[in-house]
Amino acid sequence: MKLWSSFPLHAVRKWWPSNNEWSLLVAIVLAIVFTAIVDTNHTYFFRPMESLRDIARNSAMLGIFSLGAAVVIIAGGIDLSSGSMIALSGTVCSVTMLSLAPTEMMAFKPVGSAVVLIAVLASLLTGFFVGTLHTWLITVVRLPPFIATLATLVGLRSFARAVCESSTAVLTPTKSALINVADPAFKVVRENVWFSVGTFLVLAFLTWLMLSRTVLGRHLKALGGNEQAARLAGIHTENVKWFAYCFGAMTAALAGLFYIANESVAAPVNQGRGHELNAIAAAVVGGCSLSGGVGTVQGTVLGAFFLRVVIDAVSKIIKTGADVYEGLIVGVVVVLAVTFAQGVNGLRQDRRFLPGALGLCTIPVLALLAGSLASMTTGAASGLATGFTAFIALVALRIWESRSHGKRVQVSISG
Amino acid sequence: MSFVFSRSMRTYCLIFLIGFGVTGCNKSNVNPQDKTQRTRKVSQRFIFITNGDDPYFDVLNAGLQAGAEKFALADKGLEVVMEKNNATAQGQIDRLRQLVTQADVAGVAISVIQAENVAIVEEMKRLTEKGVSVITVDGDINQKLFSDGRPYYIGTDNSIAGRLLGTAGRKVLESRGITEGGFIQFTGFTDNDNARARMNGCREAIGKNYSEVDRMADSFDHSRARDNVRSALVNHPDVKALVGIWAYNAPAIAEVVAERGIRDQVSIFTFDAAAQAIEHMANGNIDCMIVQNPFEMGVQTVRLLLAMQEGQDAVLTSMFPDYDQPGGDKFTTGLRLIIPDAWENDEDAPISKKDLESAVSAGTLEVLSLSVFREWLKKYGLSSS
Amino acid sequence: MNKLGEIAVAMKGITKQFPGVVALDCVTLQVRRGEVHAICGENGAGKSTLMKILSGVHQPDAGELEIAGQSVQFHSTRDAENAGVAIIHQELELVEELTVAANVFLGREPRTRFGLLNDAIARRKTEELLGLLEASISPGEMTGGLRVGDQQLVEIAKALSLHASIIVMDEPTSALTDAEAERLERTISTLRQQGCTILYISHKMDEVFRLADRITILRDGCHVCTIDKEGTTTSEVTGWMVGREITEHRFRSQQAIGTCLLEVENLCVASQDSRQSGQLHNVSFRVHAGEVLGIAGLMGAGRTEVLETIFGASPNQWQGRISLGGEPVSFTHPSDACKAGLVMVPEDRKRLGIFANLNVTENISICSLFHAMRNGLLSKQIEEDIVAEPIHQVGIKAPSLTANISELSGGNQQKCIISRWLLTKPRVLLLDDPTRGIDVGAKAELYELIETLCQNGLAVILTSSELPELLTLADRIIVMAEGRVTAEFPRDEADEKKIMAAATLA
C-alpha cells in the first residue's frame, strides 16, 4: 500500500476515469471510426492532421468556457450568460486596442504587444466584474441564478454592442457594430492551433487540481451538494460562489479572446450567440448534475470533445447542407448521452415505455418523426414506409406491454 | 474490466447507429433539386457560399443550375451546389475550413459577408494554395486591403448601382417638387461591401440637396427590418425618402409605409425585386427599383469556375479583357431600372427612358416597365430577381 | 358481518430483495380485525419495507398477501387504497405549496356538478377530520408553514379521509411532542372503536406497551415472534429486536463539573418572520465543562433558534450577551464559532447536515480540511488518517471509507456529522435533537459517546423531544416555551410532569 501513497501514482489513481468517462471515450472512438468509414471522401484517413486540427481547435474553444460552466454547475448554480460574455470580452479587447492605437487598428497594422497585453487584461478584468455582478445579484439581491444570468444573457450582449457602436462612433469615422482585429498576435493564435489547445489543457489541469486537491474545490462540491449544510459546516458560501461565478465569467472572457482571434473581428451582435448551451451540454454530457455537487473535469473535457466530434461527423458525412441536420442530431445525442450519464436505467423490467394515454399519443409523434426524417433524407416513398413501419412497431410494443402488465390481475375487494 | 459490456457503452453504440443510419443513407444525395446530376457518377464539386438565406440566392441558384446544364458539367463529372450561410462571419469561416479538408472540391464562389474580415480572406487563400479555384460573387472583399485575396469578382458594380438608384431617386423627388429633405437607407449589415458601395453611391448621386439622415442595419432579421422602418418614421417624421438596399428591405419598407398610411409623404426606391416587392410596385407602393441579375451571376459563375478549372484562357480573356487595369478583375452583370407601367409612356412621369440615356447606351442599364419585367421573369420561371 | 378476531391482514412468506440486500426473508404476519398491532425492530429490520408492500408501494418477490381472507396483489397505492389500506409514512409526503385541505384530498378532489373543484366541501370535510384529531389547524393554511408535528396530523387526516379499514402508521410520533402524541393515541382509540385495524410501527417501548394488543418483532428481515403485550416486558422486546439484552445504563453517575464554558445572558431575538416561533425573550443559562445541559420544550418553543443564534447560523439580529470561556463573543458565521471552539450538530441531518454527493471521508473531514494538506494541496492519505480516529472512537459502521454517505444507516450518518465536529476539537458541543430517526442500538451508542465526551471535559447542550432521553442524559434541564425559559431543574428534581407543565405554560 505504501506505493499508492506516493503523489504521482496517487494522482493517477484519483484521475482514473469513471464508468461514464470510459463510455464517452469509447463513444468518441466509435464516432471517429464510423465517420472515417462512412464519409465518401474518407477524409479522416487521407487528411487526418487537418481534421484533427479543426476538431482540436473547436473543442478547445468550446472546452475553455465549458470548464467554467462545469465549475458553476458543480457549485450548485448555473450561468446562462457565457455566450454574451464572449461577445463582451471580444468587444472590450478590441475597443481597448482601438482606443490605445486607433490609427494602427483601422489600418490593419500591428498595435504592439503592450497594447495587446493591456487589452487582454482588460477583457479578463471584465470577466471578473461580470462574475462579481452575478454573485452580488444572487447572494445579496437573492435572485435565483437562472434569472440573474438570464438577465445578463440579454443585457451583456446589448451592452457590448452599445460599447462597440459608441466607441467606433468616437474613434473611427463611422459608427460600426464590429471592429476588425488584424494584429499579428491574434493571427498567430488563429493559425497555430496549439495556442488554443495548449491553453485549454493547462486550464483543464489547473481546474482539475483546484476541484480535487484544494480546500476551495472541496468547499465548492459541498456547496453544490447541500448549501445549507455547507454554511452550517462553517463554509463561507458567498465567497465560494463568488469564486465560482468569477471563474465562469473569466473563462468565458478568455474564450472570447480566442473567438475574436478566430474570426479576426469583434462582432458583439452575434458572436457566441447561443453557445452557452453548448457549454452546458458539454458539462452535463460529461457527467455534471444540474442539481449541483457532481461533476469532473475529465468528464467535461471529454464531453466538449465528444460534441465537436459529433458536429464534425455530421459535416463530413452530410457534405452539403449539413447544418440543417446538425441541430437535430446533436439534440438527440445530448439527450441520450445525458440520460445515460445520469445513470437512468431505462431498461428496467417493470417500466413501460408507452404508458396510458400519454403512451398512445406518443406513438404517432415518434412515427411521424421517424417518417419525416426518412423522407427528407431518402425520398418520399421510403419515408412513408419507414413511418408506417415505425407506427406498426410501436403499436405492437404497446399491445405487448399492456398484455404483460395486465397479466398481474387487479382484484377488487368486497366488504 | 466489465465496462466493455456496460449498458451505457452499448447505448452509445446505439446512439450512433441511429443517428448516422438516418444520415448515412444520404451519402451522395446532395439536393433534391439536382436530380439531373444523379445519372452520372459525380467526382468533384463547385460550391457557392452565400452570405445569408434569401430568395435572391434561390434565383442565383437557378442560374447556377442553368449554367451547369449549359456548360455540361455532368459530363465532366462536376456538379455545382449552393450552401446557405447563417448570416455570420464565423459561419463562412467554418464552411471554408471544412472545404479545405474535403478532397472533392474543385472551385468555390463566395458572397463575402464582411469585406474586411481577415480570417475569411486567409481561409480563401488556404483554399487557393490547395489548388481550388476561389472567386467572389455578389459580395466582394476589400480590394484595397486584400489585393491578392481572389483573382476575379462577378456581380453587380455596386457603386454604379447605388449611383443609378440615387439618380433615379433624385429625379423622382424633383418631379414631385421636393427640392430638399432627408432620406434614410435600410440594409442588413452596414459593413458589407455591396451594401456599403450601394449606400455611398446612392448618397453621392442623390445630390447635396438631400441629406442622409441615417443608415439602419437589421442583421438579416426581417422583423427587425420592419421595426427599423417604424422607428425611422417615428424619429424622423419629416423624412422624404426611404431607400431599401437589400432584397427583403423593399417589402419591409412598403408594408410599414402602407400600415402608416403615409404613402403620399415619402418616396420609396429599392434594390432587387423580391416577389412581394414586385407586388408592391404593382400596387403603387414602390416608386422604382434597381434590379440586379442574380440569374446571370449564377450562369457566369459556373462558366468562370469551369474555365479556371480547365485552364480555358480564351474564356478568361473574353470575360476579363482589361484584367491588368484597375477594376479589370470584375465581371459586372447587368442592372435594370424597373418603373411602374404608368410611367412608361407618360411624358410627365418622374423618370423616362430619356433621362438615363447615357447609362442605357453604355449597356450598364436597361429601363423596363413592370409588366415587361414580369414577362422576362416568367420566361425563366422565376418569381423574383 | 365481520367478527372481532377475524384475520384482517395476512402476509405469508413475503420475500423482498433490493440490489445487494435482502430486505425481507419469508416473513409471515397475521393481524386481527380491530386490533392495534405493533411492529418493532431496529432500523434495517424490514418493518418499513413490509408495510410498503402492504400499502402497494412495493411488490413482493415472493409470498402472498390476503386482505379479509381474499388473495390480492397491489400494483400501486391506488389498489391498496381501494382495498381499504392506508399508510401514513414516516417521511411526510405533503405538497408544501398547497393548502391543508388540498393536501388532504390530493388526487381525490371533490368536484361540483360541472366538474370544477369544490373547495367548500373539501374545506368542511377537512375541518371535521382535523377536529377529530384535535388539531388547531385551519384547512386553508399553507402546509409549508406548519410545524412538522402539525404536518404529520395532516397526513393522518388524509389517511382518515380515505375511510380506510386498515391503517398503517410508520413511526407517527417521531416528530410529535408528548401532548400531540397523546392526542394521537386518543385518535387511535377512537378509530379502533370504529372497527379499524391499526398497524403501528414504533420503537418507543412506552407507546407500544400503552397502545398495542399484540407485538410482532422483526430482526434483519426475518420474523422473530409475535406475542401478546400482556405476556412480555420492554426489555424482552428490545432484547429480541437487537438480539441481545440491553441493560439500562446508569448515565451521568460520575459528574465532574468544571468551569463555566458558555454563558448566555438575556438573549433576545426579534424574528423577521410573521411566525411567532422565531422570537426569543431574555433567554439565560450557563453550561460548564463536563456537563450536559438539556433543553426541553414543545415544537416551536425556540430551542433550535437559541442554538442557531449562539452558533452564528441565524440571520436574525440579537441582543444580549454570549460569553465563551469568559470572553464575550458574537458569531456572525458558523466558521467563527467553530474556530472559537463552539460547534453545532443541526436538527435535520438530511437537509442540514449530510452532503449526499460526497463520501464518508469527505463528509467527516469537511471542517478540518486545512489539517489534511501537504505541499499546499489536499492529500487523500492524510485525510483518511485524520478521519480514521473519530470513526474508530465514535464507532461508525460503513462499507468503506469511500462509500457514499447515503449508503449508511441513519444512526451512522448522524455519527459522521458528530465526528465532523469532534475533529475540530471543540470545547462546547450543541446537539439539536440528535437521536431523531435513529434506532435503539445506535441511540445507546450515542448516549455512551456523549458520556465519554463529557468525561473529557466537553460542555454539551442537548435538545430533545423525548423526555426520557433528557432525563437519562442531562445534568440540568431547562424548559422553554414560546421563546422564554420557563423552568430549570437539576437532574434529581426533574420529572416528566414538571417538565411538561413548564413546557405548556404560555
Reported as a single tens digit per residue, the pLDDT across A218-271 is: 999 999 999 999 999 999 999 999 999 999 999 999 999 999 999 889 999 889
Which candidate, B22, B264, B84, places its Cα nearest to that of A314?
B22
Q: Do A337 and B12 touch (CB under 8 A)?
A: yes
Write down the pTM of the prediction: 0.77
Architecture in CATH for domain C7-242:
3-Layer(aba) Sandwich (3.40)
pLDDT of A343 over the 60 cut = no
Same domain (yes/no): A284, A402: no
Scanning every residue of chain C, which has its alpha carbon at the shortest distance from the alpha carbon of A405?
A: C75
- Give the residue from A16, A106, A180 with the most B CB atoms within 10 Å of its CB, the best one to mutate: A180
- C355: chain A residues, CB-CB within 8 Å: 221-222, 225-226, 229-230, 293
The total of structural domains in chain A comes to 2
Q: Write down the pLDDT at residue C189.
A: 86
Residue extents of the structural domains in chain C = 7-242, 260-504
Q: Write down the pLDDT at residue A410.
A: 42
Q: Tell me the backbone φ, ψ of residue C21, rounded to 5 degrees.
A: -150, 140
Q: Do B118 and A347 touch (CB under 8 A)?
A: no
Is residue C288 within 8 Å of C459, Cβ to Cβ?
yes
**For residue A361, what are the CA distances in angstroms to A344, A351, A354, A388, A395?**
23, 18, 9, 16, 11
Residue at which a domain ends, from A292, A314, A341 = A341
C-alpha cell at A250: 473569466
Same domain (yes/no): A297, A396: no
Q: Do B23 and A190 touch (CB under 8 A)?
A: no
In a domain, A208, yes or no: yes
Q: Which is more confident, A4 or C450? A: C450
| A339: Cα separation from own chain's centroid | 16
Q: Do A180 and B118 touch (CB under 8 A)?
A: yes
C-alpha cell at C39: 411492529
Scanning every residue of chain A, which has its alpha carbon at the shortest distance from the alpha carbon of B99?
A: A319
Class of domain B158-291+334-379: alpha beta
Q: Do A410 and C73 touch (CB under 8 A)?
A: yes
Q: How far apart are CA C46 and CA C216, in angstroms?
A: 12
C-alpha cell at A408: 398481474
Least CB–CB distance from B24: residue in A41, A271, A317 = A317
Å between B357 CA and nearest CA of chain A: 35
In a domain, A348, yes or no: no
- Topology of the domain covering C260-504: Rossmann fold (3.40.50)
- Give the residue from B16, B95, B108 with the most A CB atoms within 10 Å of its CB, the best one to mutate: B16
- Give the residue from C17, C345, C369 with the most A CB atoms within 10 Å of its CB, the best one to mutate: C369
Average pLDDT for C200-217: 86
Is residue B138 within 8 Å of B155, Cβ to Cβ?
yes
Same domain (yes/no): A305, A169: yes
Q: Do A264 and B25 touch (CB under 8 A)?
A: no
Average pLDDT for A324-330: 82
Fold: same for C7-242 and C260-504: yes
Q: How far apart are CA B5 and CA B277, in angstroms?
A: 62
Q: Domain of A75: which CATH number? A: 1.10.3470
Q: Do A262 and B219 touch (CB under 8 A)?
A: no
Q: Write down the pLDDT at residue B259.
A: 87
Taking only the tens place, the pLDDT of each residue in B133-161 is 999 999 999 888 898 899 999 998 888 89
pLDDT of C2 over the 70 cut = no
Q: Do B81 and A320 touch (CB under 8 A)?
A: yes
pLDDT band at C244 (very low <50, low <70, confident <90, very high): low
Same domain (yes/no): A80, A107: yes
Least CB–CB distance from C70: residue in A292, A410, A411 = A411
Q: Write down the pLDDT at residue C322.
A: 93
Q: Write down the pLDDT at residue C278.
A: 64
Å between A172 CA and nearest CA of chain B: 13
Q: Which residues of chain B have pLDDT under 70?
A: 1-42, 347-348, 352-355, 359, 361-363
Which candidate, C431, C481, C424, C479, places its Cα nearest to that of C451?
C431
Rg (CA), chain A: 25
- C373: chain A residues, CB-CB within 8 Å: 215
Å between A129 CA and nearest CA of chain B: 27
Is residue C480 within 8 Å of C456, Cβ to Cβ?
no
Percent of chain A with pLDDT over 90: 58
In a domain, A401, yes or no: yes
- A345: chain C residues, CB-CB within 8 Å: none
C-alpha cell at B178: 421636393
Is residue A21 within 8 Å of A287, Cβ to Cβ?
yes
Q: Do A232 and C367 touch (CB under 8 A)?
A: no
Q: Write down the pLDDT at residue A414.
A: 33
User: Which secondary-structure segment (H or E) carries C486?
Assistant: strand C484-490
What distance, in Å, lies between the first and last C-alpha atoms of chain A? Answer: 67
Average pLDDT for A378-396: 88
Å between A269 CA and nearest CA of chain B: 8
Q: Do A270 and B81 touch (CB under 8 A)?
A: no
- C356: chain A residues, CB-CB within 8 Å: 225-226, 293
Is residue C49 within 8 Å of C59, Cβ to Cβ?
no
**For residue C306, what are the CA distances in angstroms to B336, C76, C174, C330?**
87, 44, 22, 13
Q: Write down the pLDDT at residue A89.
A: 97
C-alpha cell at C257: 463539573
Q: Do B22 and A19 touch (CB under 8 A)?
A: no
Q: Do A214 and C378 touch (CB under 8 A)?
A: yes
Q: Write down the pLDDT at residue C51.
A: 87
SS3 C311: helix
Taking only the tens place, the pLDDT of each residue in A84-127 is 999 999 999 999 999 999 999 888 889 999 999 999 999 999 99
Q: Write down the pLDDT at residue A7.
A: 45
Q: How far apart are CA C128 and CA C130, in angstroms?
A: 5
- In CATH terms, is domain B38-156+295-332 a member of 3.40.50.2300? yes
Check residue C264 and report its DSSP letter: E
The mean predicted confidence, pLDDT, of chain C is 85
In a domain, A415, yes or no: no
Taking only the tens place, the pLDDT of each residue in C89-132 is 777 778 888 999 999 988 888 888 888 888 888 899 999 888 87
Pairing of strands C166-170, C85-88: parallel
Å between A239 CA and nearest CA of chain C: 12
C-alpha cell at C153: 396530523
**For residue C197, what are the CA distances in angstroms to B62, C7, C204?**
83, 10, 20
Regarding chains C and A, contact by 3 or more CB pairs under 8 A is answered as yes
pLDDT of C382 over the 50 cut = yes
pLDDT band at A41 (very low <50, low <70, confident <90, very high): confident
In a domain, A45, yes or no: yes
Least CB–CB distance from B89: residue in A24, A267, A320 = A267
C-alpha cell at C284: 439565560
Q: Write down the pLDDT at residue B143.
A: 87
Q: How far apart are CA C172 and CA C201, in angstroms?
A: 8
Q: Say how many CB pairs under 8 Å bridge A and C.
A: 101
Of A102-111, B39-48, C201-210, C383-392, minimum mean pLDDT range: B39-48
Pairing of strands C342-345, C327-328: unpaired
- A307: chain B residues, CB-CB within 8 Å: none
Which candidate, B267, B379, B254, B309, places its Cα nearest to that of B79?
B309
**Any residues with CB less than 8 A from the CB of C213 and at least 6 apart, and which?**
C32, C35, C36, C37, C228, C229
Could you write out the three-class secondary structure of chain A?
CHHHHCHHHHHHHHHCCCHHHHHHHHHHHHHHHHHHHHCCCCHHHHCHHHHHHHHHHHHHHHHHHHHHHHHHHHCCCCCCCHHHHHHHHHHHHHHHHHHHCHHHHHCCCCCCHHHHHHHHHHHHHHHHHHHHHHHHHHHCCCCCHHHHHHHHHHHHHHHHHHHHHHHHHHHCCCCCCCEECCCHHHHHHHHCHHHHHHHHHHHHHHHHHHHHHCHHHHHHHHHHHCHHHHHHCCCCHHHHHHHHHHHHHHHHHHHHHHHHHHHCEECCCCCCCCHHHHHHHHHHHCCCCCCCCCCCHHHHHHHHHHHHHHHHHHHHHCCCCHHHHHHHHHHHHHHHHHHHHCCCCCCCCCCCCCCHHHHHHHHHHHHHHHHHHHHHHHCHHHHHHHHHHHHHHHHHHHHHHHHHHHCCCCCCCCC
Q: How far apart are CA A21 and CA B304, in angstroms?
A: 51
pLDDT of C363 over the 90 cut = yes
Regarding chains C and B, contact by 3 or more CB pairs under 8 A is answered as no
Same domain (yes/no): A336, A371: no
Q: Tell me the backbone φ, ψ of residue A410, rounded to 5 degrees.
A: -90, 135
Is residue A294 within 8 Å of A127, Cβ to Cβ?
no
Same domain (yes/no): A297, A389: no
Taking only the tens place, the pLDDT of each residue in A262-297 is 988 999 988 999 899 999 999 999 989 899 999 999
Average pLDDT for A125-152: 97
Q: Do C334 and A232 touch (CB under 8 A)?
A: yes
Check residue C405 and report its DSSP letter: G
Q: What length does chain C have? A: 506
Q: Write down the pLDDT at residue A342.
A: 59
Pairing of strands C214-219, C197-201: unpaired
Same domain (yes/no): A337, A361: no
Same domain (yes/no): A297, A171: yes
Q: Write down the pLDDT at residue C352.
A: 92
- C68: chain A residues, CB-CB within 8 Å: 413, 415
Of A196-205, C14-23, C75-84, minimum mean pLDDT range: C14-23
pLDDT of C134 over the 80 cut = no
In the chain, the amino acid numbered A198 is G
Taking only the tens place, the pLDDT of each residue in C139-197 is 888 988 887 778 877 888 888 888 888 989 887 876 677 777 787 888 888 888 878 89
- A313: chain B residues, CB-CB within 8 Å: 20
* Structural domain boundaries enclosing A401: 356-406
Q: Do C377 and A410 touch (CB under 8 A)?
A: no
Q: What length does chain B have? A: 385
Å between C353 CA and nearest CA of chain A: 5
